[in-house]
Structure 1
Amino acid sequence: MTMAAVLHFAKGMIKPAAALAVVAMAVGLSYLQKLSLEREMVYSVFRAFLQLSVIGFVLQFIFSRQSVAWIFLAYIFMVSIAGHTAGQRAKHVPNSKYIAGASIFAGTSVTMLTLVLLRVFPFTPRYIIPVAGMMIGNSMTVTGVTLKRLRDDIKSQMNQVETALALGATPDQAIIRQVRRSLVIGLSPVLDNAKTVGLITLPGAMTGMIMGGASPLEAIQLQIVVMNMLVGAATVSSITSTYLAQPGFFTYAHQLRPYVFSSD
């Protein structure tokens, strides 16, 4: 990273620094309303600034190298963080972090491979890393919600599940309703967002292109691709997570594991 690049970055931070005025407004309102969120707001904004600044320099370095190896390293790093985060949300699911990570990897890699093979995106760091980041973040949220909801639904309906098992149902058959319900709930926000995109909000990719000088018609072409890939990756990730999680709920004798459902 050259000194000129650092100076250019510092100059470009003038506007983001000016935008701190709205954060100050939020902190003031939190203080007046006695919400006790002032410290958390300041910490969150500072952390976001630090993380984005670091990742900006890292991406600048990766883009300048144009190496396929850096794509895979960045991808594995993002999937690992996403799996850990989603697993934390569903921490009572056995091996939740590994399941979430594997599910996110499956959903995003299959989707990305399809897009590359169809030549929607070239296989270069400048395209693949930002696109992968969007898919991974979205799949992380969906997977965490799906896993948590599946475990909670089984816990609240243990009598029904155990009755089905006693009548000869397999574990997969005994929890099929809970699996379907968790998938519907996990995927609903993604589908609702796809239904209302452009009507209520202009998504980040589209907004960024328009503000960068691209025509609205070019921007919507990219946004359509983004919405399609988010739906595809989230669906594969959430379904994979339910299949991987199911064995952890049952013993080898096809009984529910009590310790999995004994805590909240």
Structure 2
Amino acid sequence: MNLAVNGLSLTFAVTLVFVALVISFHEKIGLEKDMIISVFRAIIQLFIVGYLLKFIFHINDVWLTLLMMLIIIFNAAANAKKRAGKLRSGFPISFIAILTSTGVTLGLLVLSGAIKFIPSQIIPITGMIASNSMVAIGLSYRSLLAQFKDERQPVLERLALGATAKQASIAIIRESIRTGMSPTIDSAKTMGLVSLPGMMSGLIFAGIDPVKAIMYQILVTFMLLSATSLGSVIACYLAYRSFYNEREQLIDL
């Protein structure tokens, strides 16, 4: 089956953006400028990436593939860092967490034979894993910042009773990990009943048997659960130290 997507159909699709712009303007939401910028950025970035991927897929070079993976992970870490607020070492922590979760998940998939180490498979999967880890880590950071502010007194009391920084913070760490993982878990619960996820829909559009498309989607779901759990755990256990000084005293951020 050939998809009839061309310049004309994309031009008509732009009218859908105007619907969102009209709603934002009418309801005085104030997002018109951000919407227009995001649309133009998306178009430019996607075309650049499209031609770049076409080149990389044609070259099929291991080092070029690894470089592209690092660029994806670097950008994901930079975006996750924006959610870190005043946490110390927000970017290094995000980079370590995303690199580890992506590396472990991809390594298991390659070793099991589920995917091959070729650009056309590795790069899109890396993007899926890194983006989901980025979102999970960002949510974990927000939860850490909010809970350390709200639960400051109980944490101080635990420290006064002789608890270590980790013991005083463990409940907050666990809740933050849970917050980071929740969207992926909720998505998995409703998959097939509420939504037909991206990979499955894309494969069906491409003419793949729906049953085979489902098998690929199950693989992706397990992959993302693994990545978000690893990313959230690593980020939270590294980031909570930012709320303490070298004497394990709670500080204000």
TM-score between both structures, scaled by the size of structure 2: 0.94
Aligned amino acid, residue 50 of structure 1:
I
Q: Shift of the alpha carbon at 1:25?
A: 2.4
Task: String of CA shifts for 1:173-205, please: whole Å, max 9, x gaps.
Answer: 000110111111111111000010111011111
Say whether residues 1:103 and 2:97 are aligned partners: yes
Give the match for residue 5 of structure 1: none
Distance 2:157 2:21 in 1: 53
Task: String of CA shifts for 1:81-123, please: whole Å, max 9, x gaps.
Answer: 1111111011221111211111111111111101111111001
Which of 19, 23, 26 does residue 20 from structure 2 map onto?
Answer: 26
Equivalent residues, number: 249
Is the contact made by 2:144 and 2:240 (CA closer than 8 Å) also made in structure 1? no
Aligned amino acid, residue 159 of structure 2:
L
Say whether residues 1:36 and 2:42 are aligned partners: no
Is the contact made by 1:87 and 1:97 (CA closer than 8 Å) also made in structure 2? yes
Distance 1:251 1:34 in 2: 44
Say whether residues 1:221 and 2:224 are aligned partners: no
Give the match for residue 158 of structure 2: 164
Q: Shift of the alpha carbon at 1:15?
A: 2.1
SS of match in other structure, 2:145: helix
Structure 1 alignment gaps of length 5 or more: 1-10
CA RMSD of aligned residues (A): 1.4
Aligned amino acid, residue 98 of structure 2:
I
Q: How does 1:143-162 map to 2 (within 5 A)?
A: 143-162=137-156
Is the contact made by 1:90 and 1:145 (CA closer than 8 Å) also made in structure 2? no
Which of 173, 176, 200 does residue 182 from structure 1 map onto?
Answer: 176
Distance 1:192 1:87 in 2: 24
Distance 2:60 2:42 in 1: 27
Which of 61, 70, 75 does residue 76 from structure 1 map onto?
Answer: 70
Mean Cα displacement is larger for which, 194-203 or 13-22? 13-22
TM-score between both structures, scaled by the size of structure 1: 0.90
Aligned amino acid, residue 51 of structure 1:
Q
SS of match in other structure, 2:204: helix
Task: String of CA shifts for 1:120-144, please: whole Å, max 9, x gaps.
Answer: 1001000000001001000000001
Is the contact made by 1:146 and 1:186 (CA closer than 8 Å) also made in structure 2? yes
Give the match for residue 206 of structure 2: 212
Distance 1:142 1:244 in 2: 15
Aligned amino acid, residue 113 of structure 2:
R
Task: String of CA shifts for 1:65-86, please: whole Å, max 9, x gaps.
Answer: 1111112111111111111111
Give the match for residue 131 of structure 1: 125
Aligned amino acid, residue 215 of structure 2:
Q
